[in-house]
A and B are shown apart, each in its own frame.
Chain A
Amino acid sequence: MSPRKIVLRFGPEISDKPIIYRLVKDYDLVMNIVKANVNPQKEGIMVLELTGDNYEQGLKYLREQGVTVQALTHEVVRNEQRCTMCGACTAICPTGALYLDRPGMEVHFDGDNCVICQLCVKACPVRAMEVKL
Chain B
Amino acid sequence: MSEKTYQEINARIRSGKAVVVTAEEFINIVREKGLTHASREVDVVTTGTFAPMCSSGAFLNFGHPAPRIKMHRVWLNNVPAYTGIAAVDAYIGATELPEDDPLNSNHPGEFRYGGGHVIEDLVAGRPVRLKAVGYGTDCYPRREIETTITIHDLNEAILFNPRNAYQNYNCAVNLSNRTIYTYMGILKPNLGNAHYSTSGQLSPLLKDPHFKTIGIGTRIFLGGGIGYVAWHGTQHFPAIQTDASGKELGPAGGTLAVIGDLKQMSPRWLMGTSYLGYGATLSVGIGVPIPILNEEIARYAAATDADLYAPIVDYGEAYPNRKPGNLGYVSYAQLKSGKIMVQGKEVPTAPLSSYPRAREIASILKEWIQKGEFFLSEPVQLLPSPADGLTGKVLKG
Contact = CB atoms under 8 A, between A and B. Distances in A.
Interface of A: 82, 84-92, 100, 102-106, 119, 122-123, 125-127
B193 interface: yes
Contacts of A104: 355-356
A105 B193 contact: no
Interface of B: 50-52, 108, 112, 185-186, 188, 192-195, 271-276, 283, 336-338, 348-357
A84 B357 contact: yes
A86 B351 contact: yes
B283 A90 contact: no
B354 A84 contact: yes
Contacts of A103: 336
Contacts of B186: 92, 119, 122-123
Given A88-B185, A91-B195, A123 B357 contact: no
B19 to A, nearest CB: 25
Contacts of A84: 50, 271, 283, 354, 357
Q: Main secondary structure on chain A at its contact with chain B?
A: loop
Given A91-B193, A91-B194, A91-B195, A102 B356 contact: no
Given A102-B337, A125-B283, A126-B283, A86 B354 contact: yes
A86 B349 contact: no
B52 A87 contact: no
Given A85-B354, A122-B276, A105 B336 contact: yes
Nearest to B277: A122
Nearest to B196: A87
A105 B192 CA distance: 21
Contacts of A122: 108, 186, 276
20 contacts: A84-B354, A85-B354, A85-B356, A86-B50, A87-B354, A88-B185, A91-B193, A91-B195, A91-B348, A92-B185, A92-B188, A100-B338, A104-B355, A105-B351, A122-B108, A125-B52, A125-B273, A125-B275, A126-B271, A126-B283
A89 B195 CA distance: 10
A86 B283 CA distance: 11
A125 B336 contact: no
Nearest to A82: B271
Nearest to B185: A88
Contacts of A127: 112, 274
